[in-house]
Amino acid sequence: MPSRSVNKVILIGNLGRDAETKYTASGTAVTRFSVATTRSWKDQQTNEWKEETNWTNIVLWKQENLANYLTKGKQIYIEGRLHTRSYDDKDGKKVYATEVIAEEVILLGGKGEGGFDSASQAANRAAGAPRSGKPAGQGAAAEDDPFSGMGVTDDDVPF
């Protein structure tokens, strides 16, 4: 009897950088970006709240129209699968990279925050429509940056 296995990842977090789209030799779009997810817990010994941020690399195939709306700081839902690949670096050393291959990408936030309203969410998600009236590619203002109070900078992104 064949064994069963599951490879499913669900993330809700904030984009760590603007998405970048490149094309394979055959012309297939590959969009890459990172998502920050943060967990909080109360330290039992000091009674202080602590936070830990995890950065996850995301790969999205054949969705170049969505890349313009995937800008740093935006909240996003990702559903996909884990994939580990290896390659040889310039010194001939084998390097392993684990990333999430996204199968579902949903921009989050209510209508007032520049997100989708519930009636048009599915159609806009499929078409890659913008979340707000802001021009495509415009980054979040400092007051809209969910990481502003955490001291997270571009230098903290591991790539």
CATH number at residue 143: 2.40.50.140
Decide: 34 and 76 in contact? Cβ < 8 Å: no
Flag whether 157 is in a domain. no
- Section 116-134 average pLDDT: 38
Please report whether residue 24 resides in a domain.
yes
Per the structure, the complete domain to which residue 96 belongs is given by: 9-149
Residue 155 belongs to some domain of the structure:
no
**Residue 78 belongs to some domain of the structure:** yes
CA-based nearest residue to 82, from 2, 24, 11, 136: 11
- 111-124 confidence digits (pLDDT tens): 434 444 332 343 34
Count of domains forming the chain: 1
Does position 55 have pLDDT exceeding 90, yes or no? yes
Integer Cα distance of 153 and 158 in angstroms: 11
139 domain residue, yes or no: yes
Per-residue pLDDT tens for 66-113? Answer: 888 888 999 999 999 999 999 999 999 999 999 999 999 999 964 434
